[in-house]
Structure 1
Amino acid sequence: MGHDIRYSPRTAIKSQALIDFVAEWTEVQLPTPDVTHEYWTMYFDGSVMAPDLGVGVVLISPDESRLRYAILLHFSASNNAVEYEALINRLRIAIELDATRLYVCGDSELVVDQVMKESSCKSPLMTAYYQEVHKLEDKFQGIKLHHVPQRDNDAADFLAKLAAQRDPSPSEVFINDIHEPSICILKGLT
């Protein structure tokens, strides 16, 4: 009964090539992670109504809650400085509220362009404001500024005018008084 049967194992090279081919050409079907960035949205505007100045800001949380601010400025400033004051003071509030990502919308093309580095600051005063905004930007994981037409910034515009006119405000509006500019103003800076 001498059958001449021999056992010879198959080499792993052929089977490994098949495994490598399948792994390379098959998409892995892992569940995609739920990514939420929790962006806050902020609209800001300033208003100069001689002799008074006002700032309006609307902060919208990721869950769509709206916080409305009317800020009375008790110092003299140009329209562009008032716009910067609106931006700076509400960035500080957003930081206090633990907002880490922020979409910022304003109708001041100059301020948005300067902050986004699309135009340069021509005066030392605007440079000082820009530098203050830049310091605050570092406190966020993500911040994007967008210029919006004035018609798309009506809620912040309403609040800015309300503050500048010193009119009584609705109960859901937070009122702040600011007595000094957000930046150190040196004599002769304009």
Structure 2
Amino acid sequence: MRYMVHLHFPSSNNVAEYEVVINGLRITIKLVIQRLDVRGDPQLVIDQVTKESSCHNAKMAAYCREVHQLEDKFDGLELSHIPMHLNKVVDALAKAASGREPVPIGIFARDHHKPLVRYEKPKQASGGLNHPSAPSNPEVIELNEDPSIEPDPLADWRMPYLDYLLHEVLPTDKMDARWLVRHAKSFVLIEGELYKRSHTGIL
């Protein structure tokens, strides 16, 4: 099935990509598909959803939360980055949708006049003044780290997976626990080393 979405509201490239992902997930859920491999070009969106990159504003965080909520409806959901030149069919659909070209025969299309996700914009203090608790120049803040404390080389993204696969230990937060259980299915332990299985089956 080929599907295109026309967005009739101002949106950034990342918002458009999230809108497409959410549309695709909702359609797939209606088709009662339980396991899905999502392949796309938007590296930032994929990194945010897989928690390899943080969401720096309320809008991206709201979109990311919506994807995670839809993710709960699948037995298995994998997001993989595919370069645009290897994804020519999808690239052609995206260009046709953004260019408002006539919908080709055999292609399903949907028009959206408002975003699928609602979010609260950060409130600003009256009078245009900074909130007293907020620094006026947050990007120059330096952390006072204790040089006597050695960084733990194992305190990285692998630890939750290793704790779960080796000892069945899950995070206390229920959403994080469900997320970990789903994504741990893509990992395997071989002689104590953690490997991720790609959509092609290669470790």
The TM-score range, normalised by the shorter chain, is 0.5 to 0.7
Displacement, 1:166?
Answer: 1.2
Contact conserved, 2:58 with 2:120, CA < 8 A, in 1? no
Q: Counterparts of 1:187 and 1:113 in 2: how far apart (Å)?
A: 23
Distance change >3 Å, CA 120–CA 187, structure 1 → 2: closer
Residue 59 of structure 1 corresponds to: none
Residue 78 of structure 1 corresponds to: 12
Q: TM-score, normalised by structure 2?
A: 0.58
Residue 31 of structure 2 corresponds to: 97
Alignment of 1:128-139 (within 5 A): 128-139=62-73
Residue 186 of structure 1 corresponds to: 120
Residue 143 of structure 1 corresponds to: 77
Report the secondary structure of 1:105's partner residue. strand
The structure with the largest strand share of the pair is 1
Runs of 4+ aligned structure 1 residues displaced above 6 Å come to none
Residue 167 of structure 1 corresponds to: 101
Distance change >3 Å, CA 188–CA 79, structure 1 → 2: farther
Q: Percent identity over the alignment?
A: 50
Give the AA of the match of 2:105.
Answer: S
Displacement, 1:188?
Answer: 5.7
What is the total number of aligned residue pairs between the two structures? 123
Q: Which runs of 5+ in 2 are unaligned?
A: 124-203
Which of structures 1 and 2 has the larger relative contact order (alpha carbons within 8 angstroms, sep 6+)?
1
Residues 151-176 of structure 1, C-alpha deviations (whole Å, 9 max, x = no match)? 12211111111111111122110011
Give the AA of the match of 2:9.
Answer: F
Alignment of 1:1-190 (within 5 A): 67-187=1-121
Distance change >3 Å, CA 72–CA 117, structure 1 → 2: same
Residue 141 of structure 2 corresponds to: none
Q: Counterparts of 2:121 and 2:54 in 1: how far apart (Å)?
A: 22
Displacement, 1:185?
Answer: 3.5
Report the secondary structure of 2:87's partner residue. helix
Larger Rg: 1
Q: Which runs of 5+ in 1 are unaligned?
A: 1-66
Give the AA of the match of 2:81.
Answer: H
